Amino acid sequence: MGPRSKIIGTGSFVPEKVLTNKDLESMIDTSDEWISTRTGIKERHIASEGENNSDLAILASKRALEMAEIDGKDLDLIIVGTLTPDMPMPSVACLVQCALGATKAGAMDVSATCSGFLYSLSIADKFVRSNPQMKILVIGSEVLSRRVNWQDRTTCVLFGDGAGAAVVTGGDEKGGIISTHLHADGSVWELLTIRGLGTKYPVDEEILSKGWQYIEMQGRDVFKHAVRALESVTNEALTAAGWEKPELDLLIAHQANIRILEYLRERLELPRDKVFINIHKYGNTSAASVPIALDEANRSGRLKKGDKVLMISFGGGFTWAGVTMEW
Ligand code: ACO
């Protein structure tokens, strides 16, 4: 096997404004108790007016570049996983490319909903394996608060804004990314959608009155698909990496619901400290969720050299993904 790709820097950024469950109690018919017990979320960060997806992505990226000790102009490629870009055109990646002065980098967005970061990381991994000199910035960034119907208590309590980033380059034969696993099932796409404001249902009175500009989710059905898919990709990834369940040092899963994380923890028979949890602080930040968690695990010293790490995600589409790596 040739040299693997390796993460040499991580960064994250969340907007300053915090919306707590208590705040939501005064906005809609809900309670801190319902939200906490059903989801594990206590608060989420919300972008302020004028604060956009690319702003969060740029700030997270600067932190990742600083840790990696490289300059924007050294980057060869920028990949952003997102479902809430500033605009349909240009991509968030191009805005990041300009802000970082990454003059020799290509730039593209990847549309894979909550799996956007792991899909993007998988693409970066393939590039770096074929050219280990490459330096690739991989980002997950979302401003979901602008695609949430703040009157709909079944969805608005779940989501938050933020961004996470990682710098990937060639490593040695030990450590780094071992395997990547991408999956999708478009047959059940209607269970989780933002139907409107694309080219099929462009802006018009009827679309807006139907609320199709917002996230719609059949929560219970999505839950069932999510646990099944996440367990399956976990088993597939562990087999590919040649790891037994007890060997895993840290599971970094998409932070969608504490009950999904708890279910996975039980199925994998992992102790509590091996499952990274920060959903209480951020809610579901979609593509930003895994890289924010990765950065927090990294900066807090939770990740040690040689640790066996599994990252998994699941989102609309449906898409799901897994990445194994040795830290
Ligand atoms: N406050 C109070 N009550 C509420 C709220 C709320 N915020 N929301 C719903 N309820 C009520 C419902 O109306 C319902 O009342 P009823 O029994 O009188 O009809 C009751 O609570 C139960 O509602 P359910 O939807 O059955 O609640 P559930 O236990 O399934 O939890 C949840 C809902 C949290 C959404 C859960 O289903 C879930 O987490 N699903 C998966 C989410 C996920 O993984 N998404 C994937 C990624 S997201 C992405 O890709 C962008």
* Residues 219 and 163 both lie in one domain: no
| Widest Cα–Cα separation across the chain | 57
Report the separation in Å between the CA atom of 243 and the middle of ligand 1, taken as the mean of its atom positions.
34
Q: Which of 21, 172, 176, 116 is nearest to 315 (CA)?
A: 116
Active-site residue, 225 included:
no
Q: Catalytic residue among 21, 53, 257, 284, which?
A: 284
pTM, two decimals, is 0.97
* Residues 41 and 169 both lie in one domain: yes
* Residues 192 and 158 both lie in one domain: no
Last residue of a domain, one of 146, 173, 200: 173
Q: Which of 242, 269, 241, 272 is nearest to 258 (CA)?
A: 272
Q: Phi and psi dihedrals of 183, rounded to 5? A: -140, 160
The model's confidence at residue 147, banded by pLDDT at 50, 70 and 90, is very high
User: Is residue 222 in contact with ligand 1, taking CB distance under 6 Å?
Assistant: yes
Provide the domain count of the chain. Answer: 2
Active-site residue, 254 included:
yes
CA pair distance 141, 161, nearest whole angstrom: 8
User: Is residue 218 in contact with ligand 1, taking CB distance under 6 Å?
Assistant: no
Q: Phi and psi dihedrals of 27, rounded to 5? A: -105, -35
User: Is residue 39 in contact with ligand 1, taking CB distance under 6 Å?
Assistant: yes
* Residues 54 and 25 both lie in one domain: yes
* Residues 155 and 245 both lie in one domain: no
Q: What is the pLDDT of residues 162-216, one digit of tens each?
A: 999 999 999 877 789 999 999 999 999 999 999 999 999 999 999 999 999 999 9
* Residues 240 and 291 both lie in one domain: yes
**Percentage with pLDDT > 70 across the chain:** 99
CA pair distance 234, 17, nearest whole angstrom: 34
Question: SS3 of 147, please?
Answer: helix
Q: What is the pLDDT of residues 23-41, one digit of tens each?
A: 999 999 999 999 999 999 9
* Residues 30 and 157 both lie in one domain: yes
Domain CATH number, residue 256: 3.40.47.10
For residue 245 the two structure tokens come to 């369940």
Instruction: Give the distance from CA 155 to its chain's centroid.
Output: 18
CA pair distance 91, 95, nearest whole angstrom: 7
* Residues 195 and 140 both lie in one domain: no
CA pair distance 313, 226, nearest whole angstrom: 9
Q: What is the pLDDT of residues 276-305, one digit of tens each?
A: 999 999 999 999 999 999 999 999 999 999
Instruction: Give the distance from CA 135 to its chain's centroid.
Output: 20
Whether the per-residue pLDDT at 155 is higher than 90: the answer is: yes
* Residues 135 and 239 both lie in one domain: no
* Residues 140 and 252 both lie in one domain: no
- Beta strand pairing call for 77-81 and 136-143: parallel
Mutate to test the pocket of ligand 1, among 143, 146, 154 (most ligand atoms within 8 A of CB): 154
User: Is residue 192 in contact with ligand 1, taking CB distance under 6 Å?
Assistant: yes
Last residue of a domain, one of 124, 149, 173: 173
Mutate to test the pocket of ligand 1, among 144, 222, 318, 320 (most ligand atoms within 8 A of CB): 222
* Residues 11 and 128 both lie in one domain: yes
Active-site residue, 114 included:
yes
* Residues 92 and 166 both lie in one domain: yes
The model's confidence at residue 1, banded by pLDDT at 50, 70 and 90, is low
Q: Phi and psi dihedrals of 320, rounded to 5? A: -150, 160
Last residue of a domain, one of 152, 173, 194: 173
The model's confidence at residue 14, banded by pLDDT at 50, 70 and 90, is very high
Host domain of residue 182: 178-326
pLDDT of residue 174: 78
Report the separation in Å between the CA atom of 62 and the middle of ligand 1, taken as the mean of its atom positions.
36
Q: What is the pLDDT of residues 78-132, one digit of tens each?
A: 999 999 999 999 999 999 999 999 999 999 999 999 999 999 999 999 999 999 9
Q: Catalytic residue among 114, 181, 257, 298, which?
A: 114
CA pair distance 323, 65, nearest whole angstrom: 22
